[in-house]
Amino acid sequence: MPIKELMTTYPKESVIIIAFLVTLITTLITKKYTNQNRMKELKQVQKACQIKLKDNVGNPAKMAEIQKEMMACSIELLKHSFKPMFFTMIPLLILFWWIRGIYSPIFSSWIWWYIGVGIISSIILRKLLKVA
């Protein structure tokens, strides 16, 4: 049975499988092409800054300094997260274009199923694969 026929025969199941597989692949690419140790360090710095912000609520100068440090961490995290996006952006756009052509006439809510499964599987896979 061709894959397109399977997808139209079992639309919900196939969206779940596709969403999980795409999330798995993008998570593995993210793990491979990002410096996980540095990303974990940056997230710890951000958590520490959030605690410092709460402790210095009455001191605007100190809060501005802490926010500046948090912004620097956020920018560096963003730079790290863009690297895997270069590898996944075009293939994902092509995949969505193809999937939309298959599901739109028969399963209009496919995108919501995809997003839901993608979010849930991303949370699970990031924990299992220890991706920052």
Nearest to 7 by CA among 122, 98, 76: 98
- Could you tell me which residue, 80 or 12, shows the higher pLDDT? 12
Angle between helices 110-128 and 11-33 (to 10 degrees): 40
DSSP assignment of 12-39 equals: HHHHHHHHHHHHHHHHHHHHHHS-HHHH
Contact 122, 128 (CB under 8 A): no
pLDDT of residue 120: 97
DSSP assignment of 26-83 equals: HHHHHHHHS-HHHHHHHHHHHHHHHHHHHHTTT-HHHHHHHHHHHHHHHHHHHHHHHH
Q: What integer is the mean pLDDT of 9-34? A: 95
What predicted TM-score, i.e. pTM, was given to this entire model?
A: 0.81
How confident is the model over 64-94, as pLDDT tens digits?
888 999 999 999 998 888 889 988 999 999 9
Rounded distance, CA 10 to CA 20, Å? 16
**Within a 10 A sphere around the Cβ of 11, how many other Cβ atoms?**
17
